[in-house]
């Protein structure tokens, strides 16, 4: 979680961290007398938000702004492995797709991701 690859990935992780703090404060206030419940109420929600939304949103922003790639949210999710790596910790900048026309960049980026997975 503390490893970040690009500015949008860092912003997504910081947003998750601040949201975690706010959520813990709210849940702790709502569940007075049972502080042991707070992690069980907040951690799963934060994982779902980060891995389901924030991580893909950071990939979408990186592709749209840095790579100037016309891309949708579902397509950005497919590029998460390269732009916000988890297990491999190997970041693919995908800057080589800038040499192609914008309408071909997503297909080229996906090809690079699939080639580097092997």
1 falls within a domain: no
Count of C-beta atoms within a 10 Å radius of residue 40: 10
Q: Which helix (H) or strand (E) holds 111?
A: helix 102-117
| This prediction's pTM | 0.80
**Domain, as residue range, for 87:** 7-117
Give the model confidence (pLDDT) of 38-55 as tens digits.
Answer: 777 788 888 888 888 999
Q: Helix 7-30 to helix 38-49 angle, to the nearest 10 degrees?
A: 150
2 falls within a domain: no
pLDDT for 3 equals: 59
DSSP-derived secondary structure letter, 98: G
Q: How far apart are CA 23 and CA 43, in angstroms?
A: 10
| Total domains present in the chain | 1
Residue 28, CA atoms < 13 Å, CB-side half-sphere: 10
Give the model confidence (pLDDT) of 72-106 as tens digits.
Answer: 999 999 998 888 776 666 777 888 999 999 999 99
Q: Return the structure tokens found at 115.
A: 């080639």
100 falls within a domain: yes
Q: Return the structure tokens found at 84.
A: 């916000």
pLDDT, the chain, mean: 84
51 falls within a domain: yes
For 32, phi and psi rounded to 5 degrees?
-65, 140
Q: Return the structure tokens found at 23.
A: 């959520």
């Amino acid at each position: 979680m503390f490893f970040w690859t690009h500015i949008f990935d860092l912003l997504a992780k910081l947003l998750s961290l601040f949201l975690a703090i706010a959520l813990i404060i709210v849940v702790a206030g709502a569940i007075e007398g049972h502080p042991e419940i707070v992690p069980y109420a907040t951690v799963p929600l934060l994982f779902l938000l980060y891995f389901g939304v924030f991580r893909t949103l950071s990939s979408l922003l990186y592709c749209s702004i840095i790579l100037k790639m016309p891309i949708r949210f579902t397509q950005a999710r497919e590029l998460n492995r390269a732009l916000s790596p988890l297990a491999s910790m190997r970041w693919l900048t995908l800057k080589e797709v800038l040499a192609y026309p914008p309408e071909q960049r997503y297909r080229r980026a996906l090809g690079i991701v699939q080639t580097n997975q092997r």
